[in-house]
Amino acid sequence: MVAYRRNFVAGGTYFFTVTLKNRKTTYLTDYIDELRNAFRLCRNKQFFTIDAIVILPDHLHTIWGLPEGDIDYPSRWRFIKSSFTRNIRKSGVPLNANKHGGFDVWQRRYWEHTIKSQEDYNRHIDYIHYNPVKHGYVENPTNWPWSSFHSFVKKGVLEPEWGSVITPEADFDFGE
């Protein structure tokens, strides 16, 4: 088996793609309150900033900033994944235990990219906000309810019509 190496930068900013094991399920949007609660509990336990996020039915993309000196995003993801899984089980979602006694809700791994520059950061934010359009869920990011796009509009960083027309030179090909 190939050893997978993650990049750890103390106090770094990271882009993540985290995916459900069964891409046909819609747990993330069906149980959005349970997902939000898992994030909230994790942030109360081990603080981090969420600079941008989009939740799709079967996966999510987000940019996190870790506190100065902190490199521990893996334990945060473990906490969020396990908390969400416990919460949807409590909500009545029938999940079958795997041979290890856990539940196969999430893919074991996730995509992580260390943000290297302001341009890299901006491109990943654009990718996050455009993702519901890319997957054909909506024609404009404004129409997708589970996205930080709305807070970017509210703050005046983006116009509400951003993303409704993408030019050929736009390149949003990251992490999937």
pTM reported for the whole predicted model: 0.90
HSE of 92, CA atoms in CB hemisphere, 13 A: 1
Q: Which residues contact 96 (CB under 8 A, 6 or more apart)?
A: 103, 104
Q: CA 71 to CA 114: how far, in whole Å?
A: 11
Q: CA 125 to CA 151: how far, in whole Å?
A: 12
pLDDT at 63: 98
pLDDT at 117: 97
How far from each other are the two terminal CA atoms of the chain, in whole angstroms? 22
Whether 152 and 57 have beta carbons less than 8 Å apart is answered as no
pLDDT at 2: 56
Angle 73-90/32-45 helices, nearest 10 degrees? 140
Q: CA 164 to CA 139: how far, in whole Å?
A: 6
Q: Beta-carbon neighbour count of residue 124 at 10 Å?
A: 24
Coil, strand, or helix at residue 83?
A: helix
Coil, strand, or helix at residue 109?
A: coil
HSE of 53, CA atoms in CB hemisphere, 13 A: 16
pLDDT at 99: 81
Q: CA 57 to CA 169: how far, in whole Å?
A: 28
79 φ, ψ to 5°? Answer: -65, -50
**CA-wise closest residue to 170 among 132, 127, 135, 136:** 127
Which portions of the chain are predicted below pLDDT 70? 1-4, 165-176
- Does the domain spanning 13-117 belong to CATH 3.30.70.1290? yes
Coil, strand, or helix at residue 55?
A: strand
